[in-house]
Amino acid sequence: MELFWPHRDVVVRTARVLMRHQAEADDLAQETMLKAFRAVDRFEAGTDARAWLLTILRNSRVDRLRSNAVRATVSLEAVVAADAVQESSEPHQYAPSTDPDLILEQFSDAEVIDALQELSEDMRWTLLLIDVEGLDHADAAQILQVPIGTIKSRAHRGRLILRDRLESRAKQMRLIR
Amino acid sequence: MSEQDHSDEVTQAISKRLAKLRSRPVDLSTFDARLKAALPPSTDSSRPHVLLWPFVSPLRAVAASLVVGALLAAVVLLSSSSPALATPQRMADIYNSAVDRKNHPTTVSTANEAREVLRRKWPDAPVVPEVQDLQLMHCCVHEIGRKQMACVTFLVEEQPVTLAFASSRDVRSPHGETKVIDGQSFVVGSADGVNMVMSERGGTWMCLMGKLSVERLSEIARTIRD
């Protein structure tokens, strides 16, 4: 238990960004922690406990989607494709003198999380693991059970979509022209 | 700046902004309470005591309390005198905390400034080792177990690299992969994408850590003088 307890914040944070409703997210996080405690014998000493917990979280999430007969799992690729279609091929109109770091600092965490939650589940997972939790591509690929190349392209496309969405909000907020 | 460059700059900024969500505090109070309640009763260690206690005489209970007290005191004494173990995970946490400036490090630009700051924060701090030609960023003091270690963060090839050091009496390296480079022995490790090389010289334990490769960190570590 001592092995996994310090990482429960990672599990809870990931679940809460992954799902819109906090109660559902906490249920999923709790299920993940309980599964980890029960399966501690299968944990390989010396390996990354955080990555192991995130793998359990991912599998639990997929199980829930399947058992609820939610078509979301089946349509994930379609959502990814839809996201890709929304990518703009137009050059972006950021004022060259505007510092993107400063603009992004104007958004609250809640606004950034909202924008993340609008992404497809696969992209959200990828950005959560790579950018939010800072995992390397190999670990993320192992957790999501996809090739490293897929992780790289999902992360790239995810950031582009997020950029478009935040850009449009920045315009509404008159942070940029 | 070309549009492509600016576009890359924006996506990098998005990546950085997302990384900041990691330091967002997570309210675990309700979650912890629910999780503890959901844990199976077999893990509740208080139950056997409740059942056994009525069968123990008051005199034996006092004797048992004394023995337990003595054992606890011995454990506390032993744990405070033995060196703390610098596990890769703990060191990666210290690195991330230093780089994210979570424990409010003091900005310094020279080794002398770092010595002054560390002396004020921790009068018994070991002497800051000599690291040449590296751009200093800040320094701080961390706790590991019941011991303290000083940390100095540099910028190397635009990457923050932290040198943690303490007395060898206070901190020790874990058993792990050892590399011998130019006759110098390093314990190498990695956690959360943070690489680290640990060594011990002249009574000082040192750990150099960052996102650079282990080989590059070893090269830098070799240039450090006590």
Cα separation of B189 and B175, whole Å?
A: 10
> For residue A51, what are its two tokens?
């990555």
Residue A48: which domain range? 5-67
Flag whether residue A91 sits within 8 Å of chain B, measured between CB atoms.
yes
The reported pLDDT for the residue numbered B42 is 54
For the cut 60, the answer to whether the pLDDT of residue A85 exceeds it is no
| Mean pLDDT confidence for B81-104 | 85
> In the listed set B81, B112, B143, which residue is the last one of a domain according to the structure?
B81
Does residue B125 sit within a domain? Answer: yes
Q: What pLDDT, in 10s, does the model give residues A29-69?
A: 999 999 998 888 888 777 888 999 999 999 999 888 887 65
Same domain, A163 and A101: yes
Interchain CB distance below 8 Å, A92 and B6: yes
Say if A177 falls within a structural domain: no
A117-176 residues touching B, CB cutoff 8 A: 127, 131-136, 156, 159-160, 162-163, 166
| Closest among A37, A6, A49, A5 to B40, alpha carbons compared | A37
Question: Which of 97-126 (A) contact B at CB < 8 A?
Answer: 100-101, 103-105, 107, 109, 112-113, 116
Distances (CA, A) of A35 to A55, A66, B8: 11, 18, 40
* Chain B interface, best mutation among A13, A106, A151, A167, by max B CB count within 10 A: A13
For the cut 70, the answer to whether the pLDDT of residue B197 exceeds it is yes
Q: Report whether B186 contacts B179 (CB < 8 A).
A: yes
**Residue B192 and residue A105: Cβ atoms within 8 Å?**
no
Mean pLDDT value across residues B128-150: 82
User: Are both B96 and B162 inside the same structural domain?
Assistant: yes
Tokens of A18: 């992954």
AA letter at B102:
K
| B19 contacts chain A (CB < 8 A) | yes
Q: Is B1 an interface residue toward A (CB < 8 Å)?
A: yes
User: B51 and B152 in one domain?
Assistant: no
| pLDDT at res. B52 | 43
Whether B35 contacts chain A with CB within 8 A: yes
Residues of chain B neighbouring A152 (CB-CB closer than 8 A):
none
The reply to whether A80 and A154 lie within a common domain is yes
Nearest to B10 by CA among A155, A169, A164, A132: A164
Here the CATH number for the domain that contains residue B179 is 3.30.200.100
> Cβ–Cβ of B31/A116 closer than 8 Å?
no
Residues A35 and A98 in one domain: no
Same-domain check for residues A104 and A61: no
Which residue among B49, B81, B113 closes a domain?
B81
- What ipTM score was computed for the predicted complex, to two decimals? 0.82
Number of Cβ atoms within 10 Å of the Cβ of B7: 16
Q: Is B201 left (phi over 0), alpha (psi -120 to 50) or beta?
A: beta
Q: Which strand ranges, in their side-by-side order, compose the sheet holding B184-191?
A: B106-107, B135-144, B147-156, B159-167, B204-210, B194-201, B184-191, B178-181
What is the per-residue pLDDT for B161?
A: 92
Domain match, A162 and A113 both: yes
Residue B26 lies in a domain: no
Q: Judge whether residue B72 has pLDDT over 90.
A: no
Both B75 and B151 in one domain: the answer is: no
Same domain, A57 and A86: no
**Chain A residue closest to B37 (CA)?**
A30
Same domain (yes/no): B148, B219: yes
Of A37-46, A136-145, B137-146, B166-175, the range with the highest mean pLDDT is: A136-145
- Rounded Cα distance between A128 and A111, Å, is 15
Nearest Cα of chain A lies from the Cα of B4 at a distance, in angstroms, of 9
Of the three residues B81, B104, B137, the one that is the final residue of a domain is: B81
Closest Cβ opposite residue B14 in set A17, A50, A163: A163
- Domain boundaries, position B93: 84-223
The b/e string for B196-210 (b: 16+ C-beta within 10 A; e otherwise) is bbbbebeebbbbbbb
Pairing of strands B171-172, B84-85: parallel
Confidence of residue A106 (pLDDT cuts 50, 70, 90): confident
Residue of A nearest to B18 (CA): A132
Task: Specify the amino acid at residue A3.
Answer: L
Q: How many domains does chain A have?
A: 2
Are A88 and A121 found together in one domain?
A: yes
Residue-level pLDDT at A94: 44
- Interchain proximity A101–B16, CB inside 8 Å: yes
Give the residue from B17, B34, B36, B175 with the most A CB atoms within 10 Å of its CB, the best one to mutate: B17
Determine, yes or no, domain membership for A140. Answer: yes
Answer yes or no: is pLDDT of A73 > 70.
Answer: no
Give yes or no: residues B96 and B152 share one domain: yes
Nearest CB partner across the interface for A96, out of B1, B16, B28: B1
- Which residues contact residue B84 at a Cβ distance below 8 angstroms, ignoring those fewer than 6 apart? B144, B145, B146, B147, B170, B171, B172
- Give pLDDT, residue A122: 92
- Letter for the amino acid at B217? L
Instruction: Quick: pLDDT tens for A8-36.
Output: 999 999 999 998 888 889 999 999 999 99
A89 and A130 co-located in one domain:
yes
Name the residue in chain B with its Cα closest to that of A112: B18
**Is the same domain home to B58 and B107?**
no
Measured in angstroms, the CA of B212 and the nearest CA of chain A are apart by 13
Tell me which chain A residue has its CA closest to the CA of residue B23: A132
pLDDT (tens digit per residue) in A157-168: 999 999 888 888
Q: Examine the domain organization and report whether B45 and B148 are in the same domain.
A: no
Domain end point (choices A16, A41, A67): A67
pLDDT of residue A69: 53
CATH number of the domain where residue A140 is located: 1.10.10.10
Question: What mean pLDDT is predicted for residues A116-138?
Answer: 93
Kindly give the interhelix angle for A8-18 and A109-117, rounded to the nearest 10 degrees: 60
Q: Average pLDDT of chain A?
A: 81
Task: Round to whole Å and give the CA distance between A36 and B52.
Answer: 31
In chain B, where does DSSP find H-type helix?
3-20, 29-38, 46-52, 58-81, 88-99, 111-121, 214-223
**Which residues in chain A touch residue B34, judged by CB atoms under 8 angstroms apart?**
26, 30
Instruction: Please give the structure tokens belonging to residue A27.
Output: 């249920």
B90 touches chain A (CB under 8 A): no
From CA B28, how far away is CA B8, in angstroms rounded? 36
Distance between CA atoms of residues B16 and A100, nearest Å: 10
| pLDDT of amino acid B5 | 67
- According to DSSP, residue A131 is labeled I
DSSP B6-61: HHHHHHHHHHHHHHHGGGS----HHHHHHHHHHS-GGG-THHHHHHHGGGS-HHHH
Q: pLDDT band at B81, cuts 50/70/90?
A: low
Query: Do residue A139 and residue A90 come from a single domain?
Result: yes
Residue B184 in domain: yes
Q: Which pLDDT belongs to residue A89?
A: 40
The total of structural domains in chain B comes to: 2
Looking at the predicted structure, is the pLDDT value of residue A147 above 90? yes
> Same domain for B103 and B60?
no
Nearest C-alpha neighbor of B144 from the set B87, B194, B101: B87
Contact yes or no for A11/A57 (Cβ under 8 A): yes
Is B73 in the same domain as B113?
A: no
When CB atoms are compared, the residue of B3, B11, B18 closest to A112 is: B18
Supply the pTM of this predicted model: 0.50
CA distance A13 to chain B (A): 7
Residues B57-79 have a mean pLDDT of 67
| Mean pLDDT of the region B117-131 | 80
If asked whether residues A80 and A62 sit together in one domain, one would say: no
Which uninterrupted H or E stretch holds B180? strand B178-181
Nearest CA in chain A to B89: A48
